[in-house]
Structure 1
Amino acid sequence: MDSEARIADLETRLAFQDDALQTLSDVLVEQQRTLDRLQLQLEVLARRQEEMQSRIGDEGEEPPPPHY
């Protein structure tokens, strides 16, 4: 293989690798955005659950009605 063909082959490989790296980078950025959004949703759900548990805990401390 002559030098020009080798250089052309290397340039072609480099172009494909650059494209692959950019694609992977884009996917990683999208996954990070999704992860951030899911973490926020989880925090909101955890707060709601704590609020509901505290409400249920407050109601559970009431004495039973007299007919029991």
Structure 2
Amino acid sequence: MSDLEAMVIDLQTRVTFQEDALNQLNDVVTRQDAEMLLLREQLRMLAERLADFMRQPSAGAGSPMDERPPHY
């Protein structure tokens, strides 16, 4: 085997490993993107619930921010 053939085989091997690494990274990024979309939606829903809760008149005397925690 000549030096040129050995270099070509080495380059082909490296390209194959790089393609595999890129595919794995792409899979990770795709999963993270889907998870971020889900988390954003959950955060939006929680913000809406909090806003609704803060707008409601409380059953007790005062706002929820003035209430003492249950361990007092």
* Cα deviation digits, residues 31-56 of structure 1 (max 9, x gap): 00000000000000000000000003
| TM-score, normalised by the number of residues in structure 2 | 0.76
Unaligned runs of 5+ in 2: 63-72
Structure number with the higher helix fraction is 1
- Aligned position for 1:18: 19
Q: Which has the higher contact order (CA 8 A, sep 6+)?
A: 2
Runs (4+) of structure 1 exceeding 6 A deviation are none
Residues 1-68 of structure 1 mapped to structure 2, 5 A cutoff? 2-56=3-57, 60=62
Which structure has the bigger radius of gyration? Answer: 1
CA RMSD of aligned residues (A): 1.6
Which 5+ residue runs of structure 1 have no aligned equivalent? 61-68
Aligned length: 59
